[in-house]
Amino acid sequence: MKLTTRGHYSVKALLDLSLQPGYGPTSVKAIAHRQDLPAPYLEKLLIEMRRAGLVMSVRGSQGGYQLARQPSQISLGQILEAVGETIEPLPRYRPDAEQAEDWVTFSLWKRLHQKMKEALYSITLADLYYDARSWQAAIGEETSFVV
C-alpha cells in the first residue's frame, strides 16, 4: 500500500473537523491554515468526501464543511476509498501456475492485504481523536492541533 498526499491530507482534514467543538462547520481556509495544507487542493478532496457522504457543506458566512456522521462511524478505509486511494496489492497480477514460489508469495500478499484492509476499516476518526487528545494532554497543549 502506498499512501499518497491525497490520503494523508484527507485524514488530516477529517481529523481536524472531528476536533471542532460540536463538529460545527469549518471553512476550508481555516482547516488548510491549521494543518498547513494547500486550500485549493483541500477543497477538491472535501468535495470528493462530500460525494461519499463523509462530510457535508454548509453555506453562508458561518458555513464550511462538517462531518456528516459521528467520528466513530467514519473509518480510515472509508476516507481513503472516498478520495480514490487503493490498498490493492498487485491489482492485475496473476501468479505463474508453474512456480510454487509465485503462488506462495501471491497468497502472502493477499493475506497481508486482507489484514491491512481490516485494520483500515476498524480504525475510526474517534480512535484518532482520542489519540490526538492524549498526545495534546501529554505535552500540556490545550487547543491547537496539527496532525
Q: Which pLDDT tens digit goes with each residue over 50-100?
A: 999 999 999 988 889 999 999 999 999 999 999 998 777 666 667 666 777
Residue of higher predicted confidence among 140 and 89:
140
Residue in 109, 14, 26, 21 with CA at minimum distance from that of residue 69: 14
Cα end-to-end span (Å), the chain: 21
DSSP-derived 3-state class of residue 57: strand
Residue in 71, 81, 73 with CA at minimum distance from that of residue 130: 71
pTM given for the model: 0.81
In the chain, % helix, strand, coil (3-state, to 5) comes to 60, 5, 35
- The answer to whether the beta carbons of residues 90 and 106 sit under 8 Å apart is yes
- The answer to whether the beta carbons of residues 121 and 77 sit under 8 Å apart is yes
Summary mean pLDDT of the chain: 86
From residue 113, how far is each of 5, 22, 67, 81 by CA, in Å? 21, 36, 28, 15
Which residues does 138 contact at the CB level (< 8 Å), separation at least 6? none
What is the chain's length?
147
Residue of higher predicted confidence among 112 and 88:
112
